[in-house]
Chains A and B, each alone.
Chain A
Amino acid sequence: AQSVTQLDSHVSVSEGTPVLLRCNYSSSYSPSLFWYVQHPNKGLQLLLKYTSAATLVKGINGFEAEFKKSETSFHLTKPSAHMSDAAEYFCVVSRGGTSYGKLTFGQGTILTVHP
């Protein structure tokens, strides 16, 4: 079975400082991993996706994530936070086998950016 654990329910940073949102996964096979962002009253937007092509994945809006198999982690980072980054972020794993393509979501991390 696949599962995702987001280690922080809330992260607060100052504008211009680095962002780190932590995610650990459990999977019995080589997974696809995603980060999605959800702004208030808006739909989920795909930030980036890992598919085993490269361990460091660059996404939109300056975000990137590194897949570390030895640590079963897929943390999301951004060098410098912007006020518009304030939102909820979800780490997601794609299921395999007979449930191929179904997604399992982490609990979400709310990012607050202070001026």
Chain B
Amino acid sequence: GAVVSQHPSWVICKSGTSVKIECRSLDFQATTMFWYRQFPKQSLMLMATSNEGSKATYEQGVEKDKFLINHASLTLSTLTVTSAHPEDSSFYICSARDEEMWDTDTQYFGPGTRLTVL
């Protein structure tokens, strides 16, 4: 149980285009999902918290107009990188909490999406 998927697993795009990444909880419902970014040889940094049916909350320093998050259902959150530039190239990872479980602060992570902007 507690499986999270991401799609696509990797994407290459041209500078100035937008890219959408999907995060799905496959066998549980998640009112809260999280988006992280991991630069090469660095740790994961939380970008934003995605809340089903309401606006996402962004960490300090993360541009909400650049990283659009939509959490339209209890099993799907999407991250859209708008007008992507080479410095946005990174590994994007989502996670979800299974809030039916007693330990609601355990997060289950997706396999990540590698974005390369040319």
Q: Which residues of A contact B (CB under 8 A)?
A: 32, 34, 36, 42-46, 49, 51, 90, 94, 100-108
B44 at the interface (CB under 8 A from A): yes
Most A CB within 10 A of own CB, among B43, B46, B93, B108: B43
Supply 19 A–B pairs (Cβ within 8 Å), ascending by A. A32-B103, A36-B109, A43-B93, A43-B109, A43-B112, A44-B44, A44-B93, A44-B109, A46-B108, A101-B97, A101-B104, A101-B105, A101-B107, A103-B46, A105-B43, A105-B44, A106-B43, A107-B42, A108-B42
Give the residues from 67 to 118 in chain B that come closer than 8 angstroms, CB to CB, to chain A: 93, 95, 97, 103-112
Lowest 6 A-B CB distances belong to which pairs? A43-B111, A44-B109, A94-B105, A105-B43, A101-B105, A105-B44
Which residues from B are CB-within-8-Å of A106? 43
Cβ of B49: which chain A residues have Cβ within 8 Å of it?
Answer: 102
Knowing A44-B93, A107-B43, A108-B43, say if A49 contacts B103 (CB, 8 Å). Answer: yes
Instruction: Judge whether A42 and B43 touch: CB under 8 Å.
Output: no
A42 touches which one: B45, B95, B106, B111 (CB < 8 A)? Answer: B111
Report the separation of the CA atoms of residues A48 and B106 in the bound assembly, to the nearest whole angstrom: 10
Number of residue pairs A-B, CB distance < 8 angstroms? 48
Chain B contact-residue range equals 20 to 34
Give chain B residues whose Cβ lies under 8 Å from the Cβ of A51: 103
- The closest CB in chain A to the CB of B2 belongs to A46
A108 CA to B38 CA, complexed, in Å: 11
Q: Which residues of B contact A45 (CB under 8 A)?
A: 109
A36, A103, A107 interface centre (most CB from chain B within 10 Å): A103
Besides A100-B105, A103-B107, 11 other CB < 8 A contacts? A43-B93, A43-B110, A43-B111, A46-B106, A90-B43, A94-B105, A101-B97, A101-B104, A102-B46, A104-B46, A105-B45
Contact between B106 and A34, CB atoms less than 8 A apart:
yes
